Amino acid sequence: MQCEEWLSKSEKILTDVKEWRKAHPKATFVEIEDEVHRRMMQLEAQLLQDAAQESSSRAWGKDMGEEAPRCSRCQAPLQARGQHARTVQGNGGESVTLLRTYGTCPHCGESFFPPR
């Protein structure tokens, strides 16, 4: 995500919180805090997804010219099995979807979806 997109998303969160506050004039400090936290977790999930997608191990294989990761069990080079998406849940409870090259070990059958 570009810097302008982050600024726009942050401004939208601020605008949404202000609108929420106007719609809930009797909200307690804790309720306001919960609403801000909920919206910030959405921004955090986007940041996590963008940062994870920047990983150099995201795409590898013969066509990419990158060295294949090694099997954690037997250290043999893995064979790429195409791009797969995996949705994980962050600590804040928001879902993050990662797109990575998925691989299997030709020797021991271990499968690998790089988290790094």
Number of helices and strands in the chain (H, E)? 2, 3
pLDDT bin (cut points 50, 70, 90) of residue 6 is: confident
Q: Where are the domains of the chain?
A: 1-54, 58-115
Q: What is the pLDDT at residue 108?
A: 87
Q: What is the pLDDT at residue 92?
A: 74
Integer Cα distance of 4 and 12 in angstroms:
12
pLDDT bin (cut points 50, 70, 90) of residue 116 is: very low
Mean pLDDT value of segment 85-106: 82
**23 or 102: whose pLDDT is higher?**
23
CA angle at residue 30 from 25 to 33, to 5 degrees?
85
Q: With 90 as the cut, is the pLDDT of residue 112 above it?
A: no
